[in-house]
Structure 1
Amino acid sequence: MAYVKVNGVKLFVRTYGDGAGEPVVVLHGLHSSHASMLPVINGLKKKYKVIAYDCRGHGRSEKPVNYSLKDHSEDLKSIIGHYGLEKVNVIGFSMGSYIVQQTAILSPDLFKKIILIAPKSRGAGSSVEELLKGQGISLSELSELKLGRLLSRQLFSPGTSFLKKIKPMLLKRFSPGLTSVQRMTASHALKGFDFTVDLKELPAPTLILSGKEDKINPPELGQETASHIPSCEFLLFEKSGHMIHFEEEKKCIQAINKFLS
């Protein structure tokens, strides 16, 4: 593990695997850390060199008072450059999928293959904040514990077992929590993006995974994203909500490995 300074901030980065395989960069979702992607990381590290990091404002990375989606994109490009890589495979979950799309549009030759888990290609802001606003709740009013409880029904399929639901919460122990101000800052970084037009120029083969019961980024948004990318495969996970890589972990890893190989 190491801290890498890019674009004026220190990011917490970890590499997994023996380094013999192709590099795969993994990006996590909003208000989380790279630890939340461990099911994916562990499923790939025997074959690939996996690079995972806590995005700015998250986990153990520095937390600036202001930043944007473009800053996230510049960070991703700089992390890839830091390791001396010219072209990589990349996996982005939820917020991570927005960062990957933005980066692919700005630097289309940077990615060999792209995997987007629970994505959307446009939005007024973060899906979590939009969901809460629809219920008349402000993100700033909630503690991390209350937010987790409130979102639990939105994140998972009704049929998902308690053991699968609790695993992401257990992994959160490996990273510092965010204050309400830091959560608001992270959400505001995602305000007002629309990639739908620019995605039509994306050259990299892409795989999109969406959960049928996802209330955060419903599968229609994944299908819409796929419809804009020239070379794209869309897979619907019938027994998942937003947390596909926990709810149908084995099937998710199999799909990713098949696509990458």
Structure 2
Amino acid sequence: MNKTAQPGDLKVYIQGKGFPILCLHGHPGSGCSMSVFTQHLSQQFQTIAPDLRGYGKTPPDGEFEMIDHLKDIENLLNRLQINKCLVLGWSLGGILAIELALRCPEKVSGLILIATAAKPRGNHPPITWQDNLYTAIASILNRLKPGWQWNIETFGMRSLFRYLIQQHTPTAYQYIAKDAVSAYLQTSPQATRALNKALKAGYNRLSNLEQIQCPSLVLAGEADRHITATSSRETAQYLNNSHWHCYPNTAHLFPWEIPDQIIKDIDNWLQLNPQMKYEG
């Protein structure tokens, strides 16, 4: 079921019934780009995947700061009358998940942190004009013919995709075609500026993580150049009740590289922590 946002609210996609899981996308991203999680989890839970301010179909409403995302998320939970939920966040969404757990601990029963960190660090090489050219060609051809092996080998593996994924499979490129390109095109300049401002300020919440008492699952891709696996592991080490796993031969978009494995590991963790799925 899709739920249309009211004017001034976040556009939100709701599926399934049961205990709620709030799914927060990264940058660039949208609620729809979380389908790798929501399509499965909505079979047992109610998944709530908003377009954050300035992303997808939610307008930026002028310049804003990262704190505004948290205000929007709180308003969304109040509007949907959600008193407690699990929170799954990918990249930027994971940072917002951490912030929500610090800001409203009574509302967050558990955290699933994907390719993210409380002190994010990257080691991405400089981007050349050839990178941008090959990425543009690969993206266009992949949109026209998702998962086309010739395009993957000719342009995809020479494009910026080589830093976002390590396993250049048709499955990964099909996710890119379905969920990544439209999200990129619908990401506003205001959202990019808000994120860059926060990163330039040296975002670091490691010292605050001891305040988070709920169970946390922290997952990372070994070859992630955008938010390194080392910084993700550091976050897991500072959390009181965390389970950490790093996947070899994967990068920042690892849920699209090995979706079945990720879903299996999330399911196993949820089964080990049944207390998270109750209001009381």
TM category, shorter: 0.7 to 0.9
Counterpart Cα distance in 2 of 1:86 and 1:250: 30
Distance in 2 (CA, whole Å) between partners of 1:89 and 1:154 is: 30
Counterpart Cα distance in 1 of 2:78 and 2:267: 24
Q: Distance in 2 between the 1:70 and 1:147 partners?
A: 35
> How many residues are matched?
247
| TM-score of the superposed pair, with normalisation by structure 1 | 0.84
The one-letter amino acid paired with 2:105 is: P
What do residues 60-79 of structure 1 show as CA deviations (whole Å, max 9, x unaligned)? Answer: 01123322221111222221
Superimposed CA distance per residue, residues 215-254 of structure 1 (whole angstroms, 9 cap, x where no aligned partner): 1111101101101100011011123211121111011011
Bigger proportion of residues as helix: 2
Partner of 2:147: none
| 1:13 and 2:12 correspond | yes
Contact 2:120 2:232 in 1 (8 A): no
What's 1:113 paired with?
A: 110
Q: 1:136 to 1:215 in 2, by over 3 A?
A: closer
1:180 Cα shift? 7.0
Give deviations 1:82-126, integer Å, cap 9, x for gaps: 1111110110000100111111111122111110000111248xx
**Alignment partner of 1:232 out of 220, 242, 246:** 242
Q: Please give the per-residue CA displacement for 1:151-174, whole angstroms capped at 9, x wherever unaligned.
A: 3111101x3314413422222466
Q: Is residue 153 of structure 2 the alignment partner of residue 154 of structure 1?
A: no
Larger radius of gyration: 2
Cα deviation for residue 136 of structure 1 reads: 6.7
Aligned to 1:171: 179
SS in 1 for 2:11: strand
> Partner of 1:135 in structure 2?
126
| CA separation of 1:162 and 1:113: change in aligned 2, threshold 3 A | same
- Aligned mates of 1:179, 1:103 — CA distance in 2: 22
Root-mean-square deviation (Å): 2.8
Q: Tell me which residue corresponds to 1:86.
A: 83
Partner Cα distance (2:87, 2:55) in 1: 19
How far, CA to CA, are the matches of 1:53 and 1:32 in structure 2?
Answer: 10
Give yes or no for contact 1:112–1:204 (8 Å, CA) kept in 2.
yes
Aligned-partner Cα distance in 2 for 1:25–1:240 = 25
Structure 1, gaps ≥5 residues long? none
- Pick the structure with more strand per residue: 1
Shift of 1:195: 0.8
Conserved in 1, the CA contact under 8 Å of 2:33 and 2:183?
Answer: no
**Aligned-pair CA distance for 1:80:** 1.4
Letter of the 1:243 counterpart: L
> Structure 2 CA distance, aligned partners of 1:235 and 1:5?
39
The structure-2 alpha-carbon separation of the partners of 1:190 and 1:35, relative to structure 1 and needing over 3 Å to count, comes to: farther
Which residue, out of 245, 256, 259, partners 1:249? 259
Name which of structure 1's ranges 107-116 and 148-157 shifts more when overlaid on structure 2: 148-157
1:49 maps onto 2:46 in alignment: yes
Q: How much does 1:34 deviate?
A: 1.3
In structure 2, C-alpha distance between the alignment counterparts of 1:184 and 1:77, rounded to whole Å: 21
Question: Which amino acid in the other structure matches residue 197 of structure 1?
Answer: S
Partner of 1:205: 215
Aligned partners of 1:60 and 1:175 also within 8 Å:
no
Distance in structure 2 (CA, Å) of the matches to 1:121 and 1:244: 19
Could you tell me whether the CA contact under 8 Å between 2:30 and 2:52 is conserved in 1? yes
The 2-side partners of 1:219 and 1:171 are apart by 24
- AA aligned to 2:175 is K
Letter in 1 for 2:44: K
Preserved CA contact (<8 Å) 1:73 1:100: no
Deviations 1:186-221 (A, max 9, x none): 533533321101111101100000011211111101
In structure 2, the CA distance between the partners of 1:114 and 1:171, relative to structure 1 (3 Å rule), is same
Shift of 1:145: 4.0
What is the alpha-carbon distance in structure 1 between the residues aligned to residue 185 and residue 231 of structure 2? 29
| Distance of aligned partners of 1:174 and 1:216 in 2 relative to their CA distance in 1, 3 Å threshold | closer
2:53–2:191 Cα contact (<8 Å) kept? no
